[in-house]
A = this chain, B = another copy of it.
């Protein structure tokens, strides 16, 4: 009986690992990725409004410049600069391929020869940003629908990690670090180059990046890449299909739970809370609160949090300029 269940689990894993990704799963990947792009909060420049100026009744010239230039959000960007918006969308969809190609010395633009993928992603981008009445966006944002897409995106992510490590192993048979790095960038995608993706939209936030404030998918991709590398080099005695299946189940359940509860706590927190103090001293764990506020893209994380605080305290100074200030803080 147990043998039978084991057999059927192995077979399930094997057939699961052979499901083709292209039309349906890739579509979900594109939808969720571009949704995140549209979610991005107001894309102001990295200049935090300064209290001193506020008190003097003047407004920050650069902040207002950026407002009048209209770079106030992804929607605004897509209206005014469709090409920049489209490029950002492509980075969100194919960033992992670009980064992996960069690491492995292949043409950066290699993946863009898959016309059908590019056209599919472009269609998703167009529908999400320009669909009349925002109909498409509202449909895919409906939580049950979105959860399905999120789950399917994780399937693609895990498969990408596995393929990336297989590919790196092909080039560097004993290159452990190469395999881990390739798997990591294949899993994390655009997050690891978020600084430069933002720069494309005229946003520059040098004080944070995905490596300083890792989001759950980035961290999970790193751990996943280590696991798959162990499997690839035969240190982990499981078949690749099983590992794909198990890790996909883990990622899907975590990500769906996190998305459903709008939570930012990471399942690795407990583990890291034990390991980090032993390895790196005690401060490591203390950052997780900052870390998780950043959301999937580490965007407004600690910066927004801290910049909000002085603004708040200053409100008590001059009651009159409250509205102006909160507007600016956004």
Contacts and interface: CB of A to CB of B under 8 A. Distances in A.
Copies of this protein in the assembly total 3
A81 B307 contact: no
Nearest to A211: B84
Given A65-B303, A307-B61, A175 B287 contact: no
A211 B77 CA distance: 11
A175 B116 CA distance: 10
User: Which bracket fits the contact residues of A?
Assistant: 35 or more
A106 B60 CA distance: 44
Nearest to A99: B108
Contact of A279 (B82, B209, B309, B311): B82
Interface in A50-66: 50-53, 55-62, 64-66
Nearest to A213: B81
Contacts of A195: 199
A62 B107 contact: no
Tell me whether chain A's interface is mostly helix, strand or loop, or mixed.
helix
Interface-centre pick from A45, A66, A202 (highest chain B CB count, 10 A): A202
A281 B79 contact: yes
Contacts of A326: 58-59, 64
Interface string A84-111: 1001000000000000011111111110
A302 interface: yes
Given A130-B280, A211-B84, A64 B103 contact: no
B212 A62 contact: no
Interface stretch (A3-11, A140-148, A176-184): A176-184
Interface string A215-240: 00000001000000000000000000
A311 B61 contact: yes
A204 interface: yes
Given A174-B113, A317-B58, A80 B287 contact: yes
Contacts of A214: 83
Nearest to A327: B64
Contact of A58 (B84, B174, B287, B310): B310
Interface string A281-321: 11110110010000000000011011101110110010000
A199 B211 CA distance: 10
Nearest to A324: B326
A139 interface: no
Contacts of A306: 61-62, 64-65, 68-69
28 contacts: A48-B62, A50-B60, A51-B56, A51-B58, A56-B317, A58-B310, A58-B317, A58-B322, A61-B306, A61-B329, A62-B303, A64-B306, A65-B303, A65-B305, A65-B329, A68-B302, A68-B306, A68-B330, A71-B212, A79-B281, A87-B211, A101-B105, A103-B108, A105-B105, A105-B107, A109-B177, A113-B178, A115-B176
Given A52-B58, A59-B325, A62-B306, 6 more contacts: A64-B326, A69-B302, A80-B283, A105-B105, A200-B209, A203-B206
